[in-house]
Structure 1
Amino acid sequence: MSVTAIGTYDFPMKDVRENFPAPLLYIGWEDHLMFCAPFCLPLPPDTPFGALSAAVLPGIYGYHPDFAQIDWDKAEWKKNGQPWQPDPAKSLADNGLVHKDAIRFRSPGLTGIKGSFS
């Protein structure tokens, strides 16, 4: 829904990078409806991208029965809605991720609990 302001609509943004301990990164797992929306995490820009699958994502998605079956070499990624291929050896910043970017991953062959999304 669009908004039409009847006066000046000028105020300082509250969600700028400087107001958070680290840049925010939205991370979502496609085809898994147990999670209704992407998680929003403050992650230091020098975090290696490969650390997401090894150290970060198990803490938020690990209790899903499909998580342990993910083949990270075959994961399909999107950044801000566009197909994207991250380099796991590079940092989040070196992969071009900035404050409030959204990434989503799809795990081929895994479509929800017992294939419930297929």
Structure 2
Amino acid sequence: MSVVALKPYDFPMKDVRENFPAPLLYIGWEEHLMFCAPFCLPLPPDTPFGALATAVLPGIFGYHPDFARIDWDQVEWKKNGQPWKPDSAKSLADNGLTHKDAIRFRTPGLTGIKGSFS
């Protein structure tokens, strides 16, 4: 549904990068309905992408029974809705991630608790 402003809608944006301790990154796990929406995390741009799987995501998704079974070499990634192949050795910034980007990962063979998504 579109919105029509009755008066000028001119104000400084509150969600600009400078207002956060680090760039915001949205991260979602496809086919896992226990998590209804991506998480939004402030992550330093020099964070190695590989650290997501080892240091960041376990604290967010780790309590899901499928998480320990993820084969990170088989994970399929999307960046802002498009297929994407990140380099785990490079930083978030070097992988082209910027403030308010959204990434999602799909784990082939894992489709939610007891296959609830399939």
TM-score, L = length of structure 1: 0.99
CA distance in 2, matches of 1:5, 1:34: 37
Superimposed CA distance per residue, residues 5-56 of structure 1 (whole angstroms, 9 cap, x where no aligned partner): 1221100000000000000000000000000100000000000000000000
Tell me the equivalent position of 1:64.
Answer: 64
Instruction: Indicate whether 1:45 and 2:45 are aligned.
Output: yes
Instruction: Indicate whether 1:8 and 2:26 are aligned.
Output: no
CA distance in 2, matches of 1:68, 1:7: 52
CA distance in 2, matches of 1:106, 1:69: 13
CA distance in 2, matches of 1:61, 1:6: 43
Aligned length: 118
Cα drift, residue 90 of structure 1: 0.2
Secondary structure of 1:97's counterpart equals: coil
CA distance in 2, matches of 1:6, 1:106: 42
Tell me the equivalent position of 1:110.
Answer: 110
* RMSD after superposition: 0.4
Tell me the equivalent position of 1:25.
Answer: 25
Tell me the equivalent position of 1:87.
Answer: 87
Percent identity among equivalent residues?
87
Structure 2 residues not aligned, in runs of 5+: none
CA distance in 2, matches of 1:5, 1:37: 28
Structure 1 residues not aligned, in runs of 5+: none
CA distance in 2, matches of 1:34, 1:5: 37
Secondary structure of 1:109's counterpart equals: coil
Secondary structure of 2:18's counterpart equals: helix
CA distance in 2, matches of 1:81, 1:47: 22
